[in-house]
Amino acid sequence: MDKTPPAQTLTQIYQRLLTRYGLQHWWPAETPFEVMAGAILTQSTAWVNVEKAIGNLKAAGALSPQALRDLPPHELANLIHPCGYYNMKAAKLKAMAEWLREYHDNLEKTFSLSLSDLREELLAIYGIGEETADSIILYAANKPAFVIDAYTRRIMSRLGFKPSEETYTAYQRLFMENLPPDASLFNEFHALLVTLAKDACRKKPLCNYCCLKDICIATGSLLSFQTRK
C-alpha cells in the first residue's frame, strides 16, 4: 500500500540529516555547463572518476558546447576515458551540445524555459534519462525538480515509504507533493540523502550509526541480520 510521508516527517528527516552532516554544497562545479556535463559523465560511475574526466576536459579547453561539437568523437572519448562507457558518453555529450546550439549556447535563455518544457526537451536528447534531466534542472538551472537515484530509493524504502509502483515518478512524488517547491531545499535534501547512503545506509547498512534509526521501520530486521552475520 502506498504510504505518502507527511510534510512534517520529511522535514524531520531533513533536519536530522542537516544537523548530522551539515550543508553539502552540491553540485561541485564551477559553471552550470560543467554541471550538465558532469550529470552525463556520472552515469554508472563514481564521482572521483568524473572529476578526472572533467579535469581532462578543462585541461584540453574542451568544456564548452562549441568545443564539444568541434572535438572528434575519438578524442572526446579519450579525454573522458576515466569515467567509463566513454564512447557512449562522448556521444551523449555531443548530443547535448547540439541541442544547446538551438539556443546559441546561451544557458540563461535555455534555462528560461518552464520546468516542464525544459524537462521535456532534456528527455528528448540522446542519453538523458529522468535522473540526469532532473540533475541538470535542479543543479544547473536551479529549478525545483527532486532528483531520485538508487540511494534515495534505498533510504525511502527502508524508512517505510516505498510506493506501490516503484517508478521514478512515484518516488519523486513523495517529495514534490509534500515539500515546498524550493530548489535550494531539494538541492540540500538530495545531497544529504546521498551522504547518508554512503555513510550509514549502505547496501550493508550501519544502522547503529544512523541518525534516522529510531524512525526507520527496517532498523530492527537489519540489525538482526547484521548480528546473525
168 and 90, same structural domain?
no
* Residue 115 in grid coordinates: 520546468
Neighbours of 178 (CB within 10 A): 16
Enter the pTM of the model.
0.92
Number of domains in the chain: 2
Last residue of some domain: 140, 160, 194? 140
Q: Which residue range forms the structural domain that includes residue 214?
A: 7-24+147-228
185 and 106, same structural domain?
no
Q: How far apart are CA 61 and CA 17, in angstroms?
A: 38
- Asked whether residue 2 is assigned to any structural domain, the reply reads no
85 and 13, same structural domain?
no
CATH number at residue 175: 1.10.1670.10
157 and 221, same structural domain?
yes
Residue type, 142: N
Query: Is the separation of the CB atoms in 137 and 129 below 8 Å?
Result: no
Helix axes 32-41, 47-59, angle to 10 degrees: 130
Q: How far apart are CA 34 and CA 37, in angstroms?
A: 5
Neighbours of 112 (CB within 10 A): 12
154 and 119, same structural domain?
no
pLDDT value of residue 60: 98
Q: Mean pLDDT per segment of 10 residues, for the chain of length 229 residues?
A: 68 97 95 98 96 98 98 98 98 98 98 98 98 98 98 96 93 96 98 97 95 89 48
Last residue of some domain: 140, 167, 201? 140
